[in-house]
Structure 1
Amino acid sequence: MTTALPPRDALPEVFDELDHQLGCLLYLWALPIVSYAQWRDQHERVFGATDHDLVHYVTYRDRLGLITANATTPYILNFFDLSRTGPLVIELPPGPTAGGVSDFWQREVGALGEMGPDGGRGGTTLVVGPGQAVPDHAPDWSVLRSSGMNVMFGFRTLDPDPDAGLALAQQVRVHPFSQHDDPPETRLVSPDGRPWSGDQPSGLAYWARLHEVVQTEVVDERDRFFLAMLRQLGIEPGRPFTPDARLQAILGRAAEVGERMAQANTFAKRFPDARYWPDRAWDSAVVLSNSAQRGPWYDELLERASWFYEAVSFSSAMKSTTPGKGQAYLGAYTDADGDWLEGGRAYTLTVPAPVPAALFWSVTVYDTVTRCLVDNEQQRGDRGSRDTDLRTEEDGSVVLEFGPTPPASGVTNWIQTIPGQQWFSYLRLYGPLQPYFDRSWVIGDIEKVDA
């Protein structure tokens, strides 16, 4: 049935709604690239890191701005604009490290360390951006050809001895190839207690950060329609971002509504097979199929938005299919009754033995607003098998306790939560074993403790 055209005086309202809907969709689409662009800004502006430095996250306070950081192993990383640096040299020593390089859409360019081609033996890698040539006099190096011009290089040291891990980190070298004949010293820069946030910015700042990073990024063929939408909202390469009052209002509202959509898409996952066990409230946190973010006939837009709202970085090792290798991530966003987890309530979680992890396991608590480690007085957000004081039951299981005040059993297995703040949890298995993959091992749900 044909309907009449909208009245002429209603057209501004129709176009406002169109631009608002474009903005909501673009918010979800841009989450991974804005996340890395924001994090790079903090490295440069807050920490003073340069193109030949690495930021070393060690302490609990160091990681409070890092989305869903694990609280067990150190992180060492930095961000590089290959249009500014040219090809990048990475020298990695032999030893137990896990890391790699990814573009700013957080697609893995290549793994390094134990899960990479070097198998933990170390070596030199050259990272080359789109359109950049591989220098003739680097024939023996591994070459990674990045899918984007902006990249992240990062790794974790896996040695349980902190001194050994630090010694490994101090041997890593990174610098532009143009400086390879006389490379500057690679510094390990510490956050040193300075407040910072890798969380995607809110409101108009979200769009300003997106505008900034698209100025040096290459156009991916799969994103051309999205870039057309972005152009409609005043963001495009080679043009300043100067939204008028109308666009400022639309973009501010789109960021607010887009984030609500991102929260629902993350904490109430609708993806097929997201629930790991049918009778448990644990989801596969990493819902992406692969590093390319590609399904069989579509690109994983909402899957990507889900993971990169709650986390940063992806590698094939994080979704291991080989027993004893890589990692596994499960997320608990509700308790056993399907209710959001509240910081003012007490809960328990039973982790049955033996836990199928060749290296170690941990359970970590995160704030739903920041998606970062809970900033509690305890300054501890996780418990796991590397904690030598962990209390076990007679059958070998571990009962973890969560709540705002210490339980009667003591603080050994307790993670402090904050009244008025909601939280969620990750279970990480490092070197997951067959009982995890065949689901014969089943963890309990997070259960309310009756008041």
Structure 2
Amino acid sequence: MAADLPGRLADVRMDGELPARTDIPLIFDELDHQFACQAYLWALPLVSYAQWKTQHYDVFGATSSDLVRYLSYRDRLGLITANATTPYILNFFDLSQTGPLVIELPPGPTAGGVSDFWQREIGAMGEMGPDRGEGGKYLVLAPGVDAPDGLGEDYRALRSSGVNIMFGFRTLDPDPERSDALVRAVRIYPYADRAHPAPTRIVSPEGRPWSGDQPRGIEYWRRLHDIYQSEVVDERDRFHLAMLRQLGIEKGKPFAPDERLTRILEQGAAAGELMAQANTFAKRFPQGTYWPDRAWELAIVLDNSAQRGDGYDELLERASWFYEAVSFSEAMKSTTPGVGQAYLGSYTDGAGEWLDGGRDYTLHVPADVPARLFWSATVYDATTRCLIDNPQQRGDRGSRDELVRNADGSVDLHFGPAEPAEGERNWVQTIPGKHWFSYFRFYGPLEPYFDRSWKLGDITPR
């Protein structure tokens, strides 16, 4: 019987109808390997934010009184599937250290909010939030913490589902001076310090190399162990905690895997990432492609920020999105014409082949793209899921760029390793030997996007 089984189990010898006692360790090795694969997929959003937080505090020197602003292309190179058009402003906070946290958001065109470290949205802010772009004061409370006595009506209270949170936003004003003024008007501080809050600094990566994608090998598990020491885990996840316990990850205990367990964890992380890549780049979720005759599909397969489906929790949907991206807001999957954003992803060309950095491609964008604010097509490195780090130091083309347009108002974008004969204005440089994928973003998607009467071309080899 064992010979018909895969992996380590194929080597198990039988003693009659039972496995030979001397081969029991092979079975437990396989069991722990499978635990590691499943724990890897389960923990992707948590490890992603934990890794990103280390970069803010350890690499950029940020503190819990600061916000980090990603402005230049170089700044964003470590940020998973960042857009290359609008700036990001954000930081990570531990509510067990800050206590109730005040966020003062100025009026103006912003999109943002607060999420826990499972990347579930706690509350939207800005144009898609309750302030509707008018700004105001928000108070973020940790689980089990009551609102302070005498809290005035000036505050909107947000109850966090975890101890660790991310607050972030983007400015949607294309004018750099107005955008900068919005960023500098944001204040974040503990409620206990409201009478004399410390200034909110704006910290920049300043071109320093950094990486926000989940670490590989044993570092993945170290990051998971570290964040698990302080983070709240839902009741629904107790079976996964049993898996972690078997893998040497427990609350209040050091992470010190022996040689056997280190080997299993490293192999489990590698196998788990292969599963994550297939689950992301060859999605098998029921919605299919956005148009039946196109390769483009909905990049975000989560139904909602709670990550809960009808009768199940969205384990694979969550793993898909948070392997290839960070953060989720209801505004990113807008169903209201003219508001929020919509994301389509293309991981192959129209013939179903991986996008190859050594080949030349064209994307035809028909006229009248249904986006009230703007649209963009962005190229990402398939290994890091970050903006492509090309010599051109440019990863996107969109309606805010000075593009060469066809007579009918349409646009042909070009992707490839060398500048095309048509010139560089519509071109993004790709890297031979590396695969890539693309997002097409609609900011303020309009009705022709929702009813699918407007149709984007496929990324087509030239």
Q: Which TM bucket (shorter chain)?
A: over 0.9
Pair 1:330 & 2:344 matched: yes
Query: Which residue in 2 is equivalent to 1:420?
Result: 433
Matches within 5 A, 1:248-327: 248-327=262-341
SS at match of 1:426: strand
Letter in 2 for 1:249: R
Listed one character per residue, the Cα deviations across residues 202-246 of structure 1 (whole Å, up to 9, x for unaligned) are 000000000000111113011111111111111011111111111
Listed one character per residue, the Cα deviations across residues 12-61 of structure 1 (whole Å, up to 9, x for unaligned) are 00000000001001100000000000000000000111111000000000
CA contact (8 A) 1:331 1:426 kept: yes
Distance in 1 separating the partners of 2:403 and 2:314: 39
Letter in 2 for 1:46: V
Pair 1:111 & 2:131 matched: no
SS at match of 1:32: helix
Letter in 1 for 2:161: S
Matches within 5 A, 1:49-88: 49-88=62-101
SS at match of 2:375: strand
SS at match of 1:402: strand
SS at match of 1:71: coil
Question: Match for 1:178 among 192, 200, 203?
Answer: 192
Query: Which residue in 1 is equivalent to 2:357?
Result: 343
SS at match of 2:138: strand
Count of matched residue pairs: 448
**What's the CA shift for 1:176?**
1.6
**What's the CA shift for 1:5?**
1.6
CA contact (8 A) 1:44 1:50 kept: yes
CA contact (8 A) 1:274 1:287 kept: no
Pair 1:390 & 2:406 matched: no
What stretches of structure 2 of length at least 5 have no aligned partner? Answer: 2-13
Pair 1:441 & 2:454 matched: yes
SS at match of 1:324: coil
**What's the CA shift for 1:138?**
2.3
Letter in 2 for 1:292: A
Matches within 5 A, 1:15-26: 15-26=28-39
Query: Which residue in 2 is equivalent to 1:157?
Result: 171
Listed one character per residue, the Cα deviations across residues 291-318 of structure 1 (whole Å, up to 9, x for unaligned) are 0001010000000000000000000000
Letter in 1 for 2:81: T
Query: Which residue in 2 is equivalent to 1:361?
Result: 375
Query: Which residue in 2 is equivalent to 1:237?
Result: 251
CA contact (8 A) 1:127 1:145 kept: yes
Q: Displaced runs of 4+ in structure 1, greater than 2 A?
A: none
SS at match of 2:168: strand
**What's the CA shift for 1:178?**
2.2
Letter in 2 for 1:247: L
Letter in 1 for 2:381: D
Distance in 1 separating the partners of 2:129 and 2:288: 27
Pair 1:29 & 2:42 matched: yes
**What's the CA shift for 1:353?**
1.1
Pair 1:136 & 2:160 matched: no
**What's the CA shift for 1:158?**
0.2
Letter in 1 for 2:348: T
Query: Which residue in 2 is equivalent to 1:42?
Result: 55
Question: Match for 2:415 among 402, 418, 430?
Answer: 402
Letter in 2 for 1:202: R
Letter in 2 for 1:199: D
What stretches of structure 1 of length at least 5 have no aligned partner? Answer: none
SS at match of 2:378: strand
Distance in 2 separating the partners of 1:58 and 1:165: 11
Give me the identity figure in percent.
Answer: 71
SS at match of 2:418: coil
CA contact (8 A) 1:51 1:176 kept: no
**What's the CA shift for 1:175?**
1.2
Output the TM-score relative to the length of structure 1: 0.98
CA contact (8 A) 1:202 1:255 kept: yes
Letter in 2 for 1:133: D
Query: Which residue in 2 is equivalent to 1:208?
Result: 222
Distance in 2 separating the partners of 1:278 and 1:322: 23
**What's the CA shift for 1:274?**
3.3
RMSD: 1.1
Distance in 1 separating the partners of 2:233 and 2:51: 20
SS at match of 2:19: coil
Pair 1:225 & 2:239 matched: yes
Distance in 1 separating the partners of 2:61 and 2:191: 21
CA contact (8 A) 1:38 1:209 kept: yes
Pair 1:4 & 2:17 matched: yes
**What's the CA shift for 1:350?**
0.2
Distance in 1 separating the partners of 2:224 and 2:28: 22
Distance in 1 separating the partners of 2:318 and 2:148: 34
Distance in 1 separating the partners of 2:368 and 2:451: 15
CA contact (8 A) 1:99 1:156 kept: yes
**What's the CA shift for 1:385?**
0.4
**What's the CA shift for 1:137?**
3.1
**What's the CA shift for 1:155?**
0.1
SS at match of 1:415: strand
Task: Answer with 304-313 or 225-234: which moved more.
Answer: 225-234
Distance in 2 separating the partners of 1:277 and 1:308: 24
Letter in 2 for 1:184: A
SS at match of 1:418: coil
Letter in 2 for 1:224: R
Letter in 2 for 1:16: D
